Amino acid sequence: MKELIEQLKLEHDLCDDALTAIIERDEQDEPLFSAADEVRRANYSTDVYLRGLIEFTNVCKNNCYYCGIRCGNKKEARYRLTPEEILESCESGYNMGFRTFVLQGGEDPRCTDDLICTLVDTIKTRYPDCAVTLSIGEKPRSSYQAYFDAGADRYLLRHETASEAHYRKLHPPELSLKNRKRCLYDLKDIGFQVGAGFMVGSPGQTTRELIADLRFLQQLQPDMIGIGPFIPHHDTPFAHEKAGTLKLTLRMLSILRLMFPYVLLPATTALGTISPIGRELGLKAGANVMMPNLTPRRVRQYYDLYDNKICMDEEAAKCRACQEGRVRAAGYRIVCDRGDVRRPVKPEKREQ
Ligand code: 5AD
Ligand code: FES
């Protein structure tokens, strides 16, 4: 096993059988974590980047079986922040030291391209030293282009699963993996820093699906990879399914760090939800990003993608301070800058 980890660290790839052996191993994970930590330190030192997360609408036209804000959940109280409220969140976030704002929401039909573009433009004009990340789902290429032209820097769109059959088990018929992938390639082509990702332990997922996810990520070569355990939500068709485990999520984080040394890898809220020290362990397993919640407290409880989500009652400043302490206790340090991806510089082509 040690040799396999070493090989993964040096070559950033292994055959399916070897990856299966690492994913399904029945041994202590410390050697895997420390190999991943070594690689993260070589690329990012002990730096941890913060992203201020603003969940600005929980209205969603989609009906994904796993998600608490799916349109089929009629019990959910719906909200949509006004542009003024969003800008206020940015202002308090800026004063707390955030230099990236992530605007995340459901696929809200009232949230027009014009609205998004005006918002992005305003934020970028007010805070030229900040990056704006959008996470608002599947759109036509022309919309993505408009957001980019308005100044958006990054886009998060988890692929959720790269297996066609598994995708069908998690989503209603009107959604397709093909369109999801089309979106990701369009975003990349337009020039966004792109984040993909998947849930660990979603219903029906086996090692085979996880390997399909890794292979897809190798093709896409994203700048960011967001993963977290699947956690059931009581008002969804998956209410009684089992949650993903801490162990497997940490293992996947380390494997991702070894396969994608330069990637921005968050220790997610879902990881902090399944274990009180989940995010700290995530950092030690190779993660280098944290996303404190900047959403106004009044509406925060309604952005419940899954049950028992943490930080629901915390003031943004408290959440920020709490994360600072956690990062430091884990042996890393928060850095107040945009935190762009550090890809290796490609050797320049020599003139013939
Ligand atoms: N458990 C864990 N993660 C979830 N997400 C949505 N629903 C759940 C759930 N029940 C994740 C999806 C989505 C991201 C915003 O949150 O991967 O892309
Ligand atoms: Fe939000 Fe600790 S990170 S309260």
pLDDT tens digits, residue range 292-346?
A: 999 999 999 999 999 999 998 888 888 899 999 999 999 999 999 999 999 887 7
Instruction: Please give the average per-residue pLDDT across 248-277, as a whole number.
Output: 98
| Whether residue 322 has its Cβ less than 6 Å from ligand 2 | yes
- Is it the case that residue 29 has pLDDT exceeding 60? yes
pLDDT at res. 350: 59
Average pLDDT value over all residues in the chain: 96
Name the residue with the closest Cα to ligand 2, atom 1: 319
- Is it the case that residue 352 has pLDDT exceeding 60? no
Question: If you compute the radius of gyration of the chain from its CA atoms, what whole number of angstroms results?
Answer: 19
- Residues 137-170 pLDDT 10s: 999 999 999 999 999 999 999 999 999 999 999 9
- Is it the case that residue 284 has pLDDT exceeding 90? yes
Q: Mean pLDDT lowest for which of 198-207, 248-257, 320-329? A: 320-329
Cα 275 to Cα 306: distance, rounded to the nearest angstrom: 14
pLDDT at res. 44: 97
| Whether residue 147 has its Cβ less than 6 Å from ligand 1 | no
| Whether residue 277 has its Cβ less than 6 Å from ligand 2 | no
Q: Read off the amino acid at residue 313.
A: D
pLDDT at res. 348: 64
Cα of 312 from ligand 2 centre, angstroms: 9
| Whether residue 303 has its Cβ less than 6 Å from ligand 1 | no
| Whether residue 230 has its Cβ less than 6 Å from ligand 1 | yes
Percent of the chain residues topping a pLDDT of 90: 93
What would the two tokens of residue 328 be? Answer: 């430091």
Residue 46 CB neighbour total at 10 angstroms: 17
Name the residue with the closest Cα to ligand 1, atom 7: 67
- Which ligand is in closest contact with the Cα of 312? 2
Q: Which residues of 162-198 are buried (b: 16+ CB within 10 A; e: fewer)?
A: bbeebbebbbeeebebeebbebbebbbebebbbbbbb
The second-level CATH assignment, the architecture, of 29-335 is: Alpha-Beta Barrel (3.20)
pLDDT at res. 351: 52
Do 245 and 201 touch, CB atoms closer than 8 A?
yes
Residue 104 CB neighbour total at 10 angstroms: 21
| Whether residue 306 has its Cβ less than 6 Å from ligand 1 | yes
- Is it the case that residue 185 has pLDDT exceeding 60? yes
Name the residue with the closest Cα to ligand 1, atom 2: 230
- Which ligand is in closest contact with the Cα of 291? 2
Atom from ligand 1 closest to the CA of residue 233: 10
Query: C-alpha distances in angstroms, 336 versus 47, 93, 281, 320?
Result: 10, 11, 22, 12
Cα of 173 from ligand 1 centre, angstroms: 18
| Whether residue 319 has its Cβ less than 6 Å from ligand 2 | yes
Do 295 and 55 touch, CB atoms closer than 8 A?
yes
pLDDT at res. 58: 98
| Whether residue 314 has its Cβ less than 6 Å from ligand 2 | yes
For the full predicted model, state whether its pTM sits above 0.95: yes
pLDDT at res. 1: 86
Percent of the chain residues topping a pLDDT of 70: 98
Instruction: Please give the average per-residue pLDDT across 106-122, as a whole number.
Output: 98
Atom from ligand 2 closest to the CA of residue 290: 3
pLDDT at res. 145: 99
Name the residue with the closest Cα to ligand 2, atom 4: 319
Q: Where are the domains of the chain?
A: 29-335
Pocket test for ligand 2, best of 311, 313, 324, 328 (most atoms within 8 A of CB): 311
| Nearest in space to 229 (alpha carbons), one of 276, 288, 269, 181 | 269
Do 290 and 71 touch, CB atoms closer than 8 A?
no
